[in-house]
């Protein structure tokens, strides 16, 4: 079956530091890959996505590249801000999946950014 593994948190950084949150996956074929973010007191929000190998998803300064050869989709940001403090979830949906509700999630990584 499908699975997603994220680096364990929590991750604590100073403002303007470089961020990497690792994500690797197991799935057959070419799944679509997602990063979701959950800010305190809010629901999960789609941060970025990539639907085929070598695609790069980007949003709000965050980037992730779909690497089929390493089955990875690491999240990066060059300079984090305090407002980026949140829980980040890596997720996938199987190739040919007809419903985005049937996502397979990683366990989430808590990011805390200090001024």
**Where on the chain is the footprint of other proteins (CB under 8 A)?**
4, 8, 36, 38, 41-46, 89, 91, 97-108
User: Taking the complex as a whole, how short is the minimal distance between the CB of residue 28 and other proteins, in angstroms?
Assistant: 18
Looking at the Cβ atoms of 30 and 105, the one nearer to other proteins is 105
* 60 φψ region: left (φ > 0), alpha (ψ -120 to 50), beta (else): left
Please tell me the distance from the alpha carbon of residue 30 to that of residue 68, in angstroms, as a whole number.
Answer: 8
Closest distance of CB 98 from other proteins, Å: 5
Shortest CB 100 distance to other proteins, Å: 4
d(CA 94, CA 32): 7
**Residue 16 and residue 68: Cα distance in Å, rounded?**
30
CA angle, 51 then 48 then 79, to 5°: 135
Provide the 3-class DSSP secondary structure of residue 71.
coil
Based on CB atoms, which residue is closest to other proteins, 4 or 113? 4
Among residues 98 and 115, whose Cβ is nearest to other proteins? Answer: 98
State which residue, 9 or 17, has the beta carbon closest to other proteins: 9
């Amino acid at each position: 079956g499908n699975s997603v593994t994220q680096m364990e948190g929590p991750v604590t950084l100073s403002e303007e530091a470089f961020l990497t949150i690792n994500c690797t996956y197991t799935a057959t074929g070419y799944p679509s890959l997602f990063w979701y973010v959950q800010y305190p007191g809010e629901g999960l929000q789609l941060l970025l996505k990539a639907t085929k190998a070598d695609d790069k998803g980007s949003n709000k300064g965050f980037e992730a590249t779909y690497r089929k050869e390493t089955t990875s989709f690491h999240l990066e940001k060059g300079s984090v801000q305090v407002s980026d403090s949140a829980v980040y979830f890596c997720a996938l949906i199987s190739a040919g999946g007809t419903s985005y509700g049937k996502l397979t999630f990683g366990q989430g990584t808590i990011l805390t950014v200090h001024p």
